[in-house]
Amino acid sequence: MNVYKCTLLSNTKLTESSHDLRVLAPELKDARPGQFVHVKCEGFTLRRPISVCDFDGEILRLIVDRRGAGTDWLTSRAPMTVLDILGPLGRGFDTEGNVLVVGGGIGTPPLIYAAKSAASADAIVGFRTASAAMLLGDFSEVCRTVQIATDDGTLGAHGRVDTLLEKRLAEHRYDRVLACGPAPMLRACARVCAGAGVPLEVSLEERMGCGVGACLVCAVKLRDGNGGTYMGRVCKDGPVFRAEEVCFDD
Ligand SMILES: Cc1cc2nc3c(=O)[nH]c(=O)nc-3n(C[C@H](O)[C@H](O)[C@H](O)COP(=O)(O)OP(=O)(O)OC[C@H]3O[C@@H](n4cnc5c(N)ncnc54)[C@H](O)[C@@H]3O)c2cc1C
Ligand code: FES
């Protein structure tokens, strides 16, 4: 892991609040699905973590949702801007075998690279509403099937991804489920996968400081497998964890 000066090749608006950034970054050749990069945003001491959405050995794809001043700066950069990128960071997904990826909102981008890296994949993705849906064409390219749910029923099934997940696992066999999205969604997926006896990996989102395991800003309580708990670091020990390691209720 290192800091690289990488040229932004394109910046395209994807939805009302999110942008699709393509960055020339052959230096990130070891980037794995589920890992993230830590991007310097002008005017801020702390970098902002963004998941690797896709990587072809040369071009890094990042999907960035405008949430505050840092991501506002990042999504307003013009092509040819040189970005200061630290990465690739963290522990990614195990994509071996036949996988089912389950994503919610801005948690969907890293699942593109995960699905693409698996031997075979299906996808279930959920959004607030139709206009917030993203990357559906990309999921169709790398997955055999793509099921969609929206909270308001304006696209796909009316409801939540865990309802679709439960039905899917009752009818199909998978080696593992890989999930990324808001904490309540991950908690619901953990309940469904535990009930179906299918291994689940979840990518957690926490505020970050250093991004490399030194400051403990991203500490979360984890289960040690012997009935105890310990504090783990999302940036270094994750962001991807086995669901049974995570204390979802804390
Ligand atoms: C491992 C990881 C991967 C991520 N991948 C992506 C991605 O692919 N695309 C993307 O758009 N975003 C991603 N995020 C979230 C992104 O890092 C935050 O939205 C960003 O840091 C906010 O910075 P800001 O300066 O724009 O907002 P701030 O002004 O710092 O905060 C604005 C709002 O965002 C919330 N926020 C700040 N940091 C985080 C955080 N780390 N997680 C959740 N909420 C936060 C704050 O609580 C506040 O409500 C990821 C976060 C992590 C930890
Ligand atoms: S962000 Fe510093 S230890 Fe994780």
Each residue's pLDDT tens digit, 9-24? 999 999 999 999 999 9
* For residue 101, pLDDT beyond 60: yes
The ligand whose atoms approach the alpha carbon of 217 most closely is 2
Please report how many Cα atoms fall inside a 13 Å half-sphere around the Cα of residue 32, on the Cβ side.
Answer: 13
Residue count of the chain, please give it: 250
Each residue's pLDDT tens digit, 115-150? 999 999 999 999 999 999 999 999 999 999 999 999
With beta carbons less than 8 A apart as the criterion, state whether 201 and 101 touch. no
* For residue 233, pLDDT beyond 70: yes
Ligand 2 centre distance from Cα of residue 104 (Å): 24
Give me the DSSP letters along 141-197: HH-S-EEEEETTSSSSEES-HHHHHHHHHHH---SEEEEES-HHHHHHHHHHHHHHT
**Among 218, 222, 237, which is best to mutate for testing ligand 2, by the most ligand atoms less than 8 A from CB?**
218
Ligand 2 centre distance from Cα of residue 219 (Å): 7
Residue (of 118, 86, 74, 117) closest to 99 by Cα position: 118
Q: How far is CA 1 from the centre of its chain?
A: 19
* For residue 1, pLDDT beyond 70: no
**Which residue, by CA, sits nearest to atom 23 of ligand 1?**
70
pLDDT above 70: percentage of residues in the chain:
99
The CATH code of domain 98-245 reads 3.40.50.80
Each residue's pLDDT tens digit, 52-63? 999 999 999 999
Over range 231-235, report the average pLDDT: 97
Over range 150-165, report the average pLDDT: 97
Ligand 2 binding residues, C-beta < 6 A: 208-211, 213-218, 233, 235
Ligand 2 centre distance from Cα of residue 52 (Å): 18
Sign of the dihedral defined by the CA atoms of residues 159, 164, 165, 167, in that order: positive
Ligand 2 centre distance from Cα of residue 238 (Å): 11
Ligand 1 centre distance from Cα of residue 197 (Å): 32
d(Cα 61, Cα 247) in Å, to the nearest integer? 31
pTM across the whole model = 0.96
* For residue 250, pLDDT beyond 60: no
Q: Which residues, including other chains, have CB under 8 Å from residue 56's CB and lie 6 or more apart? A: none
User: What are the domain boundaries of the chain?
Assistant: 2-89, 98-245
pLDDT above 90: percentage of residues in the chain:
98
The ligand whose atoms approach the alpha carbon of 233 most closely is 2
* For residue 77, pLDDT beyond 70: yes
d(Cα 196, Cα 175) in Å, to the nearest integer? 12
Beta bridge partners of residue 126, listed in sequence order: 104, 149
* pLDDT for the residue 150: 98
Sign of the dihedral defined by the CA atoms of residues 205, 37, 50, 59, in that order: negative
Annotation: CATH topology of 2-89? Elongation Factor Tu (Ef-tu); domain 3 (2.40.30)
Q: For the chain, give me the number of helices (H) and strands (E)?
A: 5, 16
Q: Is 246 in the pocket of ligand 1 (CB under 6 A)?
A: no
The ligand whose atoms approach the alpha carbon of 110 most closely is 1
Each residue's pLDDT tens digit, 162-185? 999 999 999 999 999 999 999 999
Q: How confident is the model at residue 249 (pLDDT cuts 50, 70, 90)?
A: confident
Ligand 2 centre distance from Cα of residue 212 (Å): 6
